[in-house]
Amino acid sequence: MEGYAGGQGTSTGDLPAGGGGGASEVGESAPDNSTAGDGGDGLANTIRTGASVTYAGGGGGGGSPSATPGTGGAGGGGNGGTTPTVGAVNSGGGGGGANVDNGTGAAGGSGIVVVKFAAGAFGGYNNMTLVSNATTSEAVPTKGDIVLTYTNGIGTATINTDIKAYISRDNGTTYTQFTLADQGDTGGHTILTAHDLDVSAQPSGSSMRYKVETLNQSGSKATRIQAVSLGWS
């Protein structure tokens, strides 16, 4: 974020100073010989809260004790004067300018760093396809079995809709879907099983794989797979 220049003061009258520059505009120059300039306004965005928030306003100018001090710019800028105010906390606003007999202006406000991640970059919810390594069977199987456990991280998964499981005997080229059944819970995990699924229509092979899918995942549904075991005969 780049700031703008401060406004100009005067060297006559009540010696009013110009206001400090803000993130969106220059500070106001002293409008006359008795009035200090206001701080420039900062920039607004909605990243942090979803509502518009302005940051990095300039501080108002000071002058002699009889000068009318400048007001801090929108975005946390401090006011100038006999008792200048500091910039607002976590705004990056400039501090107000002091009157000439005070000597020291107020401190600027602490800054803030707001990091915005692209949707799904962290904490996003995506559908998963989990495929096992191939295991070679001793003979060409005609039936398959599966046991797996899962938990609902968020929401409630529908079996065979949000969780699906498959078996392949030809190294994953062809899959046949199991019809999973709920067998109760263990240690907080739900047990799903399917037995004696006919795979004889698949191309003949002995390179066995399972595939488990989680579907329809979102901020209101997150399904977690804990363990999977595949069998065949």
pLDDT at 123: 57
Mark whether 156 and 82 lie in a shared domain.
Answer: no
Mark whether 151 and 54 lie in a shared domain.
Answer: no
pLDDT tens track for 25-73: 999 999 999 999 999 999 998 887 788 999 999 999 998 888 899 999 9
Domain containing 178 equals: 128-232
Task: Provide the CATH number for the domain around residue 208.
Answer: 2.60.120.260
Choose one of 72, 94, 116: the last residue of a domain: 116
Residue 30 inside a domain? The answer is: yes
Closest CA to 224 of 128, 81, 134, 122: 128
Residue 35 inside a domain? The answer is: yes
Choose one of 63, 83, 116: the last residue of a domain: 116
pLDDT category of residue 121 using cuts at 50, 70 and 90: low
Mark whether 134 and 112 lie in a shared domain.
Answer: no
pLDDT at 103: 73
Residue 207 inside a domain? The answer is: yes
Mark whether 96 and 149 lie in a shared domain.
Answer: no
**Radius of gyration (C-alpha) of the chain in whole angstroms:** 34
pLDDT tens track for 62-112: 988 888 999 999 999 999 998 999 999 989 899 998 888 777 888 988 888
Mark whether 87 and 191 lie in a shared domain.
Answer: no
Q: What is the rounded average pLDDT of the residues 5-32?
A: 90
pLDDT tens track for 194-218: 999 999 999 999 999 999 999 999 9
pLDDT tens track for 129-157: 999 999 999 999 999 999 999 999 999 99
Residue 139 inside a domain? The answer is: yes
pLDDT at 215: 96
> Contacts from 224-228 at CB under 8 Å and sequence distance 24+?
224/150, 224/151, 224/152, 224/153, 225/128, 225/130, 225/148, 225/149, 225/150, 225/163, 226/148, 226/149, 226/150, 226/151, 226/189, 227/148, 227/149, 227/189, 228/130, 228/132, 228/146, 228/147, 228/148, 228/165
Mark whether 70 and 97 lie in a shared domain.
Answer: yes
pLDDT at 117: 59
Mark whether 71 and 176 lie in a shared domain.
Answer: no
Residue 39 inside a domain? The answer is: yes
pLDDT at 122: 53
Residue 122 inside a domain? The answer is: no
Q: What percent of the chain has pLDDT over 90?
A: 65
Q: Which residue would you say has higher pLDDT here, 124 or 169?
A: 169
Give how far the C-alpha of residue 233 lies from the chain's centroid of Cα atoms, to the nearest Å.
49
Cβ-Cβ contacts under 8 Å for 40 (sequence gap 6 or more):
4, 6, 7, 19, 20, 21, 22, 23, 24, 25, 26, 27, 28, 57, 58, 73, 77
What's the number of domains the chain is made of?
2
- With residues binned 3-state (H G I as helix, E B as strand, rest as coil), the percentages for the chain, rounded to 5, are 0, 35, 65
Mark whether 84 and 151 lie in a shared domain.
Answer: no
Mark whether 174 and 214 lie in a shared domain.
Answer: yes
Residue 121 inside a domain? The answer is: no
pLDDT at 45: 87
Residue 174 inside a domain? The answer is: yes
Q: Which residue would you say has higher pLDDT here, 213 or 16?
A: 213
Mark whether 28 and 94 lie in a shared domain.
Answer: yes
Q: What is the rounded average pLDDT of the residues 165-188?
A: 96
Mark whether 2 and 112 lie in a shared domain.
Answer: yes
Choose one of 93, 116, 139: the last residue of a domain: 116
